[in-house]
Structure 1
Amino acid sequence: MTRPGDEETTTDATTDGEAPTGRTSRLLAPGDGLRSWWSGLGRTHKWAFGVVGFGLLALLPLYTPPFLDTPGISFGGTMAQFAMIAIIAIGLNVVVGQTGLLDLGYVGFYAVGAYTVALLTSPDSPWNVMGTSAFFSSDWAWLSCVPLAMAVTALAGLILGTPTLRLRGDYLAIVTLGFGEIIRLLADNLADVTNGPRGLNQIAYPHVGEKEGLPNGVFSNGNSAGDANYGTWWFWLGLLFMVGILLLVGNLERSRVGRAWVAIREDEDAAEVMGVNTFRFKLWAFVIGAAIGGLSGALYAGQVQYVAPPTFNIINSMLFLCAVVLGGQGNKLGVIFGAFIIVYLPNRLLGVEFMGINLGDLKYLFFGLALVVLMVFRPQGLFPVRQQLLAYGKSAKKLLRSADDSKAAA
């Protein structure tokens, strides 16, 4: 049985189990050819193309093609924002794309990661520990807080997931939606801790490359001139984190954990009957996704150096989910492309006016139209995941080929 998008032609069929009509239609989509070509490559070739691809991506802020540049804003800053959203999309893809759990409040984990760094390093916070020890020295305080932010968000995912992951579908979506709003409201109302709506300022960031012209280093907002500005440096740092997360998630997909996630996504009841501990593996996905979201929140806090509750509203959570749906649920590289669309399109249209309307302010309209069109013509996303044999793949393929050869000889 093939999934939508796995073949170039499909046979139309009516609903409710009616017989197929026999009419074939060709699936025309730009992602199909590229996806098929990528799937046909060996592991060594994929690694080679991946290294070259991410190398070229790292050079993009320094050698920006004119047609890709964002005239209304620094392209380096745009790419830094893309790196953060891409990390979020990868983490959300583990929950939504791999395991099939609809999470509408993922922005809550993003907020927990950002506030963890802010509470530990901002001078406005009563929990500020920056400079109290060598571990939290001024130069390395942000980097010291990154693993703490991931641990705290993972714990938040564990606390939220333990009582709620026995729910399914819309019920789980409503609970996660409430979690995201609870985190935002707590940040807004706990004024003695989070400074309320005023937010936390002067958050720590890496002090690297300090010199006479840049007394605070290349990651400070004082490094705003040239192509290698602070946005570019944050993009490079985010790209390193992104590669590490892709390797981690890729290894998980090829393991027993990844196979259990796919089984739960396709049919949870059948997976449980076959002996899969569905609750445990769903909780694993939730905790891992939460930790990745916390990492992106830590990146955001360090880059902007200011955290306030309005940033973590439900609209941003919908945009994160939009990146996963646009790119293709379950496809790691696809959701990265979806994140690029989510970030690049509003920044590209910033300052562009049509009939007196700033097109950059209409990003939600564009994303809404894109989702409607995509759900009609391409519901699996631009780059849908291609199901492969994850265990004993080569042996199974050889066995199937030998069976086909025997049938052909007979």
Structure 2
Amino acid sequence: MEPVSKRRFVDEVVAATRERGATTHLYLMLREGGGVGVQWEQPGVDQLREYRLAEPDGSGCPHCAILDAVLALSPVLPLDTLRTARSRVQYETILRAGMLPSPAFARQAASRDVTWLADCHGAPGNPHTEADCAEHAALGPPVATDPLDVGPTAVLPRALLEIADATDVRERLRLARDWRETAAEVARRSRTAETTWGFLRNSGRLGVPAPGVPGMVYALEPGAAADDRRIAELSAAAVRSLSGQQSPTYDAERVCLVPDPVPGGVRMPSYAGAVEVAAGRPVRTLRLPSSRRPLSRLGRGVLLLFEARYAMLVRHVQRPRDWESEAALHMFEFGMLEELGGDGYVSAVAAHLAALRKEGDLLARPDKILGRRQRKALAGVFGKIDDEELHLWGSVAYRNAIMLGLGGQAAFAEHLRRQAS
């Protein structure tokens, strides 16, 4: 790999992309040690170039080079403003998770006037080098401590003890760790889940709701300095700090795991925005139920990673509905289930797809498609599950079949939009 400057790297990638008009997929892959692999995929042939960034003064941040290349490629592929901006957000999110980011682009139409799809993959490895600029060096590597590692002798903040006693906090920590371990079990078996698991593992703190103060949670930070402020003081300060913000954003470094130790009827985790009362700023939360009828551990892990993936990519509190992102979120779930479920899941998708093609439209009774053996095989993916959970995974297989029948993510996004309207 001949060392090249950032300017030459960007120019070569743009020029090569213009020449390769038949390209259907393009990847800019950060290598461990700071190299960058650029791959153009065309029908029947893949072309790969490897680069090493170096400036005359010895600098050469590979992250800046990749992100500048994405910006320069936006009119060439083309990428619209939303996808260009989201590529940077996704890149830096994966960087924070301590993984190697790889921006990925796919053609969704024969016409060069139609914007390409954009995503960012993550691969295991250390993404940082001594050449990193100050901005990107500050995004990692991830902290070595566990955000849920609060020892039994830790002194809890005064405000937290005003809303929950020490026993309640320990029980919430236990529930949060148990839920998070289900996601770890999925990630150990699914490459699709690796990036989202890294985000959840490194960013997820315990959040405790503040009673009587709707939409506020107290985030417990391990090893934080002693804080003697009262909850009323913190709440008032949080309201004041947010009152003047025109377009608030979520803290990119945190998501709060908010378990409910009281058994109830809710079975699935859910995403919600909130305010972190001690910091006085918006925070993403993942609500974790404690149900008398728990889901299977594998099922819990898939659902938690689904919600974590959504939280990972949300930055702005006020945001328009993005149907392509919704479709990509379902594609993420489909990918995990294909890896975890094997034939049991794939055959359920195939049965729904065959019924869709025969019917020529959406199915009136999709719950009646799977036969006894197919239901048993699908249930076997998750172990011992009840009929309600089996229906859940059957409905996911049906959505997967709809996506395949429509021909891909873009058409599936339009389907979701029509269904919502």
Structure with bigger helix share is 1
Q: TM-score, normalised by structure 1?
A: 0.25
Structure with bigger strand share is 2
Higher RCO (CA 8 Å, separation ≥ 6 residues): 1
Q: TM-score, normalised by structure 2?
A: 0.24
